[in-house]
Amino acid sequence: MKHIVKIMTLLVAISALWGGLLQISMVPRSHALLLPIYFVVCLGCYGLLMVGVGLMQFPTCPQEAVLLQQDIIEAKKYLKPRGVDVGSD
Amino acid sequence: MELADRAVGFLLSFVSISIFTYYTFWVIILPFVDSDHFIHQYFLPQEFAILIPVFAGVVLLCFLCVFVGFVMLKSKKKKA
């Protein structure tokens, strides 16, 4: 319940800010009207950028991969005579 | 595998940055440029700056609803 209240207050604050910005004639009117859509598009772009950057920097740890394969082989050898079938080869 | 991941990541970041710069230019900088500057021919008319994000949002919403409905139907069929 509290989380929803927090999100609602944030939304109300942002709308009040936008309304105030519309009243002040420092920013051109057409710009102030387009601001919400601009921010939504910016947020989407930022999310995509973070995903792309995370993908690029993802560590693959090749040594760990080799160790993992060895562990898998060992486990299979251990379990096979005990009758447990660990499947797809 | 690592190279494919990095290529996809790079492509995603490139697309996102290009969309961001194009949209920023379109919405913020273009209204201040005189209407007979050559740069205006590279940008669609200003109404599209609102239509395209709204249309994309509506498409996303519809896709989400259809997906949720599809999953619900499939789970109900499996149970029955």
The residue segments making up the domain with residue B28 are: 1-43
**Which pLDDT does position A10 carry in this prediction?**
92
What number of residues does chain A have?
Answer: 89
Q: What averages of pLDDT result for each successive group of 10 residues across chain A (89 residues)?
A: 91 88 77 84 92 86 90 88 72
**Which pLDDT does position A83 carry in this prediction?**
76
Q: Out of B6, B20, B54, whose CB is closest to A42? A: B20
**Which pLDDT does position A88 carry in this prediction?**
63
Contact B7, A32 (CB under 8 A): no
> Would the CB atoms of A31 and B28 count as touching at under 8 Å?
yes
Residue A69 lies in a domain: yes
> Would the CB atoms of A37 and B2 count as touching at under 8 Å?
no
> Would the CB atoms of B12 and A40 count as touching at under 8 Å?
no
Contact A32, A22 (CB under 8 A): yes
> Would the CB atoms of B2 and A53 count as touching at under 8 Å?
no
Task: Specify the 3-state DSSP secondary structure of A73.
Answer: helix
On chain A, the residues whose CB falls within 8 A of the CB of B3 are none
B53 in the same domain as B18:
no
B54 in the same domain as B34:
no
ipTM of the predicted structure?
A: 0.72
- The whole-angstrom separation of Cα A33 and Cα B53 is 15
**Which pLDDT does position B69 carry in this prediction?**
95
- The whole-angstrom separation of Cα A48 and Cα B9 is 9
Angle formed by the axes of helices A29-56 and B2-24, nearest 10° = 170
Residue A88 lies in a domain: no
Residue A47 lies in a domain: yes
Low-confidence ranges of chain B (pLDDT < 70): none
Angle formed by the axes of helices A29-56 and A2-23, nearest 10° = 140
